[in-house]
Chain A
Amino acid sequence: MITWTNQIEVHDLNTWFGSKHILKGISCYFMDNAVTAIMGPSGCGKSTLLRTINRLNDMIGNFRMTGKILFEGEDIYSAEASVYELRKRIGMVFQRPNPFPMSVRDNIKYGPKLHGVHDEDQLDKIVEHSLRRAALWDEVKDELDAPAPNLSGGQQQRLCIARALSVDPPVLLMDEPVSSLDPISAGKIEELIVTLKEDYTIILVTHNVQQAFRVSDQAAFLYMGELVEFDETSHIAEAPSDPRTEAFITGRIG
């Protein structure tokens, strides 16, 4: 019987786009039911790391990787792995809200329908449940059939969160989910993330140090493709062990 201690483990991950070496020897793990922040300056590979976890980088022709990423104990890049099942169990929220140009209801029904749910009652329950979880239900419940792009930016992003939750993934990847939003919406979503971590494992990419400190339990600092430091957030905040980390969190690099 295999036991594993964390849902996602990264072992010595290196990635290339063509000849550009992006991620260099990353090894870390992501705690269950906690928020792990991946922080670092722009262009250091944070998004690449995230997209390698749900294999979205497969779509890029010249992507290469070595190393292993284990999800529930199994190598997600192995030949037997089903990328579609993987992505069902690992959800993603993008930097700019990208609700489909359909109604709110159809946006949320999309995922479950793909994976075999066709009963209308069950789908409606999923719609309500996901929207409640994303703290959006009260605002849209009377207009579920209105086109999603008509919502405000913050509402659209919460809709995207609800959509990601619709297939009940144990893990949620979030790529700078609030960086394109106004501060009030951003704040609401940060609160949402904190409540979600009770039931989901959240990996949050951010370039905003304060946000990482506010929201996360564990933090990884990525700099130029290397994992410089990886520790409990409180430890990093009080006493970073690497000078580069310190430079980043005090704003000298970023």
Chain B
Amino acid sequence: MRVRAMRKQAKPLSETPETPPDGAGRALHTGSPSTPGKGTVFSKKRVRSARMMKDSLFKVLLAVISVVIVLPFFLILLQLASAGLGEVLGSGLGQGIQFIDTNPGPGLRGGILNSIVGSIALSALAGAVGIPVSVLGAVYINEYTRPGRVKNAIEFGADVLAGIPSIVFGAFGLALLVGGLGFGFGLFSGGVTLAFMMIPTILRTTEEALRAVPVSLREASLALGATKWTTTWKVTIRAAFPGIVTGVLLAFGRVIGETAPLLFTSGNSLGEPTSLFGPGSWVAALPYTIYLYISDPRDYLKAKAQGTAVILLIIVLTVDVIANYISRKVTRRLV
């Protein structure tokens, strides 16, 4: 490495001209002036300035906030572990299995099988109705519409639907399904009401999954002579499939935990549902059962509510963890 000895006298900074005319020369100075021969900014006595204090304070405040935010999570888990797990596993795994495996008996003592089966049945029906509608709808919106008024209207509809309170769905289900169309309380009314709630969620997640599929995949298929229909089903949806499944699972997770829509539509039962309509279709659900037990003055039922909550939480969190796992595996594939 060679350096030509080119030393030129530095222009002392104090020679900076004053307010320059029309943009020539250096700007109005905004900070500390300097004199040649003296370090300006790095003087040894530089102390933590006010700005640096503000910086540290801000970060500490945010860290505290973050702790406060997650605190309830652990408090809830703690309480459920102590009160709820005790109820479920009081005398060991055997009692735990019994809790899941038997229906409530006299005085509502016993297990919660009715609620578990009921929740599964309701979610299954909700999915059977809701998934086709939303997935197919999302396919149409994403693949067949151009950005424009129709697309905006449809997406607006889905967004509004997503924001509607769950109790409004419950009242709606009561008025339309139970009363108006005469389906009565039970599995069908409850399931379809839940389906209405699932639709906007699955619509949005499916749309996102489809959008994430690169355009070049579709183009490659069309370039080979396939029709749009074939392309959509054999290429696009296949590529988006994990994303769609994730969305569906997340929607299930939400719907299993919903209480309000079921209060006026599903009836309640101490056993499993035996039919789709009529009195045999009255069905219990985990969140509804929790609500009933905790509202009951009998103390052992309050304890049972905690136990039921443990089961519900386990189911919901498992579904969500699976959904997240699938979605994480996807991101690696398409990239």
Contact = CB atoms under 8 A, between A and B. Distances in A.
Task: Please tell me whether chains A and B touch each other in their complex, using a CB distance cut-off of 8 A.
Answer: yes
A93 to B, nearest CB: 16
A38 interface: no
A170 B13 contact: yes
Contacts of B23: 128-129, 132-133, 137
A104 to B, nearest CB: 16
B3 interface: yes
B30 A218 contact: no
A231 interface: yes
Given A72-B34, A167-B30, A229-B1, A81 B41 contact: yes
Contact of B30 (A1, A116, A231): A116
A63 interface: no
Contacts of A71: 42
A226 B42 contact: no
Nearest to B8: A31
Interface stretch (B44-52, B227-235, B273-281, B308-316): B44-52
A45 interface: no
B4 A85 contact: no
Nearest to A130: B27
Contacts, number: 119
A81 B42 contact: yes
Interface in B48-83: 49, 51-52
Given A73-B39, A170-B13, A6 B8 contact: yes
Interface string B269-299: 0000000000000000000000000000000
Given A126-B30, A167-B31, A5 B41 contact: no
A112 interface: yes
B202 to A, nearest CB: 33
A233 to B, nearest CB: 11
A168 B31 contact: yes
B6 A31 contact: yes
B43 A80 contact: yes
Contacts of A86: 41-42
A139 B95 CA distance: 79
B1 A228 contact: yes
Nearest to B55: A84
Interface in A110-159: 111-112, 115-117, 122, 125-126, 128-130, 132-133, 137
Contacts of B44: 80
Contacts of A116: 30-31
A226 B7 contact: no
A176 interface: no
A21 interface: no
A111 B221 CA distance: 51
B91 interface: no
Interface residues of A, number: 61
A1 B27 contact: no
Interface string B1-30: 111101111110100000010110111111
B40 interface: yes
Contacts of A165: 27
A177 to B, nearest CB: 19
Contact of B41 (A25, A82, A132): A82
Nearest to B36: A3
Interface string B218-240: 00000000000000000000000
Contacts of B11: 32-33
B36 to A, nearest CB: 8
B39 A27 contact: no
B28 A27 contact: no
Contact of B10 (A6, A75, A166): A6
Interface string B106-147: 000000000000000000000000000000000000000000
B9 A5 contact: yes
Given A32-B8, A72-B34, A85-B31, 9 more contacts: A5-B9, A80-B44, A82-B46, A84-B52, A167-B30, A199-B25, A229-B2, A231-B4, A241-B2
Interface of A: 1-7, 25, 27-28, 31-33, 71-76, 78, 80-82, 84-86, 88-89, 111-112, 115-117, 122, 125-126, 128-130, 132-133, 137, 165-168, 170, 198-200, 218, 226-232, 235, 241-242
10 contacts: A1-B37, A5-B9, A27-B3, A89-B41, A116-B30, A126-B27, A137-B23, A199-B25, A228-B1, A235-B4
